[in-house]
Structure 1
Amino acid sequence: MYERILVPTDGSKVAQFAVDTAVDLAEKYDAEIHALYIADTDAVAYGLGTEQVDRIQQGDFAGMTELREDAEAATGYVTENAEAHGLSAIEHHAGGQPHRVIAHYAEDHDIDLIVMGSHGRSGVRRALLGSVTERVLRSTHTPVLVVDYEEDD
C-alpha cells in the first residue's frame, strides 16, 4: 500500500511524534522513509541577501551554521529512528515555501503518503491546523496523515 512515506520535519516535538508514526507505518508496509527539512525563505528573506536566499532555495546551507545544524538534527532524527527499525531513510534539505516544496517533493519522488504534524515549531496554531499543514492539504493530491501531539501536563 505504501512504498514511500514523506515526513516533513522541523525538529519540533509534534514533528518528532509524526516521525514516530511514519516509522511505525513504514515498518508495517516495509516502506522507505523520506525526511524533508525546509527553510522557509519567506520567513528568512528579510534578513538575508538575494544570493543567500537563492542558496537556501537550492538546499545549500553552507556558511549558515545554525540553519544547517537544525536541518541535520531534524532529518537525522528521522534516519536514526528508521534505522533502529531496520528501515532505510533518505534525507533532503531544501528552501522555499514549505507547502509548495512538500507538494513538489511528493510528486517528484512518487510519495504514497505524507505524515506531518498538525503544527510546527512556531507554536502558532490555527483553530485546527498550522498554516503549513493546512496549505499542504490544499496543495497536493498525495494522501496526508496529520498527527497531533500535546505535551503532558
Structure 2
Amino acid sequence: MYEHILFPTDGSDGAAAALAHARNLAETHDATLHIMTVLDTSSPHIGMTSAGPEGATTGMIAEEHDESEPGMVGEDHNIESSLQERSQAIVEAAADEVDTVDTVTAIERGPPHRAILDYADENAIDLIVMGTHGRTGIERYLLGSVAEKVVRTSDVPVLTARFSDDES
C-alpha cells in the first residue's frame, strides 16, 4: 500500500513522537522512509530555532543571512554552514533510530509546509507522517502550525502524532 513514506522533522520532541509510527509503517509495508528537514527561508529577518540532537538547536533562517556575519563575541562564523551541519545531524539521528528500514535523507529550503509538499510531489510519497506540538489558543494562532498547513493542503494522506508534555 505504501512504498514511500515521508517523515519531516525539525528535531523536536513533537517530531520524535511521530518517528515510531513512521518506522512501524515503513516496516509493515516494506517501504522506503524519507527523512527530511527544512531550512526555513520564508521569514527574511527572523531566525527561528527548534530543539535538535543533544539539546542543540536547528536554525531556520532567511537566505540573505547566509553570508558570514560577526558573532556575538566578534568572531566570524558562517550561519549557513552551521545550520546545514545541524540539519544534517537531525536527519542522520532520525535515520539511526530507524535502522531497520531503508531510508533517504534530505535537507530542503523554503517555507516548511511548502517544502514538505513539494518534496512529497517530487518523490512519489504515498504517506506523510509528522508530529505536532499540541499548541492551542493564542500560541497556535501566533506561531501557526506547519502540520496543520500540510494536513489542509496535501494531496496524499497525512498521519499526525501529537506530542504531549507527559512524553518529555
TM-score normalised to structure 1 length = 0.78
For residues 109 and 125 of structure 1, the distance between their equivalents in structure 2, rounded to whole angstroms, comes to 33
Aligned residues: 138
C-alpha contact (below 8 Å) 1:119/1:130 kept by paired residues: no
Tell me, yes or no, if structure 1 residue 142 matches structure 2 residue 156. Answer: yes
Kindly indicate whether residue 81 of structure 2 is the aligned counterpart of residue 82 of structure 1.
no
Helix, strand or coil at the partner of 2:165:
coil
What's the CA shift string for 1:38-90, capped at 9, x where partnerless?
011123x226563839xxxxxxxx8634312321122112211221x2x1111
Q: Structure 1: give runs of 5+ residues left out of the alignment.
A: 54-61
2:133, 2:164 within 8 Å by CA — same for their partners in 1? no
Map 1:1-153 to 2 at 5 A. 1-43=1-43, 45-46=44-45, 50=64, 52=66, 64-83=80-99, 85=100, 87-119=101-133, 125-126=139-140, 131-152=145-166
- Aligned amino acid, residue 147 of structure 2: T
Q: Hey, which of these two has a bigger chunk of helix by percent?
A: 1
Displacement after TM superposition at 1:130 (Å): 5.2
Match of 1:56 in 2: none
Q: Between Structure 1 and Structure 2, whose CA radius of gyration is higher?
A: 2
Higher strand share: 2
Q: Using a 3 Å threshold, how does the CA distance of structure 1 residues 49 and 63 change in structure 2: closer, same or farther?
A: closer
Rounded to whole Å, the distance in 2 between the matches of 1:147 and 1:81 is 17
C-alpha separation in 2, matches of 1:37 and 1:49: 16
Q: Distance in 2 between matches of 1:133 and 1:63?
A: 26
Percent identity among equivalent residues?
A: 38
Give the superposition deviation at 1:113. 0.3
Specify every segment of 5 or more residues in structure 2 that has no aligned partner in the other structure, as ranges. 47-61, 68-77
